[in-house]
Amino acid sequence: MGVCLINPVKVALVGIEDRELLDFLIGYSWHPRLHVGDNPSKEWLEEEADIFLLNGSMNTIYDLLLRIKKPVILYGEPHYVENLQDLSSWPAWVIYPSRAPLVLLVALGQQLLRQERHLEELKYSLEKTKNKLEERILIEQAKGVLMEHLDITESEAYQRMRNSAMKERKSVRDIAQTIMMFSEMRSPNP
């Protein structure tokens, strides 16, 4: 057997009752959860799974893809391709022919999981960068208010905010927010 790079993988199977596939996945440290039928409940779909393996009618697949927020492998025949063009914005899904070697299914699943984790890391990094930029803008605005009202230089304005932050045991961002709040309260409403 091969080595599973992301251990153990929790895989939810919908519309698949292939015993050979189940045994193969278990051999690669994939832990399958099988749903018999083609319309799992919302609760079943929300249970923790790393990846979904789906098979069924086009309507069922489309409905499930709209409800699943994890990587998906469509296990079946490639006739799905022409019917799924409007899902091009879906973050991680692929069609895997049921007659292809199963070892490739595991490798493909691992790649989808790495891709999903990488996207999550990028989203987190983007959010941190966005917050830092917002903080920087807020601090610059607060410095501008201090410079205007106290007739001081930019570095003096920042030094005063930094000193206040240390004295009050707050962040410079908190001090900048307070300055902006008081500035807005003092300015006449248009």
Strand order through the sheet with 72-76: 30-35, 9-14, 51-54, 72-76, 93-97
The per-residue pLDDT for 146 is: 96
Q: How confident is the model at residue 132 (pLDDT cuts 50, 70, 90)?
A: very high
Average the pLDDT over 159-164 and give the result: 96
Q: Tens of pLDDT along 28-84?
A: 888 888 776 767 887 888 777 888 888 877 777 777 877 888 888 888 765 655 555
The per-residue pLDDT for 67 is: 81
Contacts of 28 (CB under 8 A, 6+ apart): 1, 2, 4, 9, 106
| Averaged pLDDT score across all residues of the chain | 83
Buried b (16+ CB within 10 A) or exposed e, 154-166: eeebbebbeebbe
Q: Of residues 8 and 122, which shows the higher confidence score? A: 122
> Model pTM greater than 0.85?
no
The per-residue pLDDT for 66 is: 79
Domains of the chain (ranges plus CATH)?
A: 9-100 (3.40.50.720), 127-186 (1.10.10.10)
The per-residue pLDDT for 171 is: 96
